[in-house]
Chains A and B, each alone.
Chain A
Amino acid sequence: MEVREELKYTKTHEWVRDLGDGVYEIGITDFAQSELGDIVFINLPAADDEVTAEETLGDIESVKAVSDIYSPVSGVVCEINEEVVDAPEAINNTPYEAWLIRVKDVTDTVELLDAAQYQEVCEHE
């Protein structure tokens, strides 16, 4: 299982990349994609929608099960990764490149973990 040093993580298995200027990119982790198995659909908010830290921002559907994606931040969605919406298997193949949404005007975040802390969370699951 891969955990990247430069990213921050949530206990609910999302990753966050700080793009600067108050914009954050959000995806789901390698651990999460591996637990879900083959991902076939993803439901995301639209651009300009507001997302709220700790609340669901969408869901992700694998052959096995559906699970919620929780927003690590509060802010306004500025971009959706349409490529991933059209070909969600990208999340299985390259979870840290296959970002889901970008959020701007971030006012709040959940408690974010660094790579070592997140690694520990995974080991206890």
Chain B
Amino acid sequence: MEKKTALYRMHEALGGKIVPFAGYLLPVQYPKGIIHEHKTVRENVGMFDVSHMGEFTLKGRDALANLNYLLTNSYDTLKDGFARYGIMCYPDGTTVDDLLVYKKHDEDYLIVVNASNCEKDYAWMKEHLFGEVEFKNISDEVSQIALQGPKAEEIVRRFTDRIPAKNYSFIEDVDIKGINVLLSRTGYTGEDGFELYCRNEDVCALWQLLLDEGVEPCGLGARDTLRLEAAMPLYGHELSDRIKPTESNLSFFIKFTKDFIGKEELEKELTRKRIGLKVIDKGIAREHCPVFCNGREVGFVTSGTFSPTLNCAVAMAIVDIDAAEENEFEIEVRNRRLKAEKVALPFYKRNK
């Protein structure tokens, strides 16, 4: 039985098409459709219910040491009031989850994980924690709205002057019409934007405030096309318990100068890597479709969709390292071979 977020009734009232996702009932789109929602976020501003995401708190004297050991990234240089992406690996180098760590201060962190992995992550971390730490799963108390798009700041400014100025910075206890919000300049769309964390009982009022300012609600469909254009990894696709972060070209987020779970395996030479493909023939290559190069099967699609910005089908694929240097590929889609050409990732990058 899927859970409902605190915003469920709002989604129904707005005509959202509800689907089960990661154990929750969430809108895949609203009546105007995915392409409209996608363009709204690229050109204007839209909002998503992302309350299904999991949140943990990690506090105590050894919190930092634990983060550095459990995650591939280093948190030594993370300043108070900033967030940093990280990946949690198994000893074999494959992926438990990817996540975001918010540093409140040296001994107080908020960790945001994928809904589909929340229980697994909690168990994994609990099993590996050491020293003096206090670790809690607060997912069921926290709701989250992602406000994304070039006009996002303008919307937030109508409510508060306390705007986190830099990307990946955040401010706690921001008062938005009496609602206590952790306001974070983060997102998963490739646009500027914010993620607003609040208590479940406040989220409907916060959503309504944003609706009243003309912000359009967007669903999971647009969230996926937006993150895919921006080439952001999604667990279960570009990362999984069969895919190492190095194979998905995420080495930037791996710091080999420290010790962490999975380090030894991640240091090994790569045998495959992630590439971007633009589909030339008519059709959409989707996840799991086999990828061919010079007639030989060289890998598989991890995510694929129709890109509303580029107006063509695009895909990310993991392919053998030698094939990754080639330019022309074929993707097998429903017993047809579609021509595809390699293009640089991300497919879309905003002008800053």
- Taking beta carbons and an 8 Å cutoff, which residues of A are in contact with B? 37-38, 40-41, 43, 59, 61, 63-64, 66, 92
Contact = CB atoms under 8 A, between A and B. Distances in A.
B284 interface: yes
Contacts of A59: 334
Contact of B33 (A38, A43, A61, A66): A38
Nearest to A42: B282
B20 to A, nearest CB: 14
Contacts of A43: 282-283
B225 interface: yes
A40 B33 contact: no
Contact of A63 (B35, B282, B283): B35
B28 interface: yes
B305 A63 contact: yes
Contacts of B184: none
B306 A40 contact: yes
Contacts of A63: 34-35, 221, 225, 305-306, 308
Given A41-B282, A63-B221, A63-B306, 14 more contacts: A37-B28, A37-B29, A37-B33, A38-B33, A38-B34, A38-B306, A41-B284, A43-B282, A43-B283, A61-B283, A61-B306, A63-B308, A64-B221, A66-B286
The prevalent SS among residues of B at the interface is mixed
Contacts of A64: 28-29, 34, 221
A115 to B, nearest CB: 24
Contact of B221 (A37, A40, A61): A37
A43 B282 CA distance: 8
A61 B313 CA distance: 11
Instruction: Give me the 4 closest cross-chain CB pairs, A-B, nearest first.
Output: A38-B35, A40-B306, A63-B34, A38-B33
Contacts of B313: 40-41
A37 B334 contact: no
Interface residues of B, number: 17
Interface of B: 17, 28-29, 33-35, 221, 225, 282-284, 286, 305-306, 308, 313, 334
Contacts of B225: 63
A68 to B, nearest CB: 9
B223 to A, nearest CB: 12
A38 B221 CA distance: 11
A81 to B, nearest CB: 15
A64 B225 CA distance: 9
Nearest to B279: A41
Contacts of B306: 38, 40-41, 61, 63
Contact of A41 (B35, B221, B283, B286): B283
A37 B27 CA distance: 13
Given A38-B34, A40-B284, A43-B282, A66 B334 contact: yes
A61 B284 CA distance: 7
A59 B225 CA distance: 21
Contacts of A41: 282-284, 306, 313
A64 B33 CA distance: 10
A51 B41 CA distance: 42
A38 B282 CA distance: 16
Nearest to B36: A38
A41 B305 CA distance: 12
A40 to B, nearest CB: 5
A90 to B, nearest CB: 14
Nearest to A85: B282
26 contacts: A37-B17, A37-B29, A37-B34, A37-B221, A38-B33, A38-B34, A38-B35, A38-B306, A40-B284, A40-B306, A40-B313, A41-B284, A41-B306, A41-B313, A43-B282, A61-B283, A63-B34, A63-B305, A63-B306, A64-B28, A64-B29, A64-B34, A64-B221, A66-B284, A66-B334, A92-B33
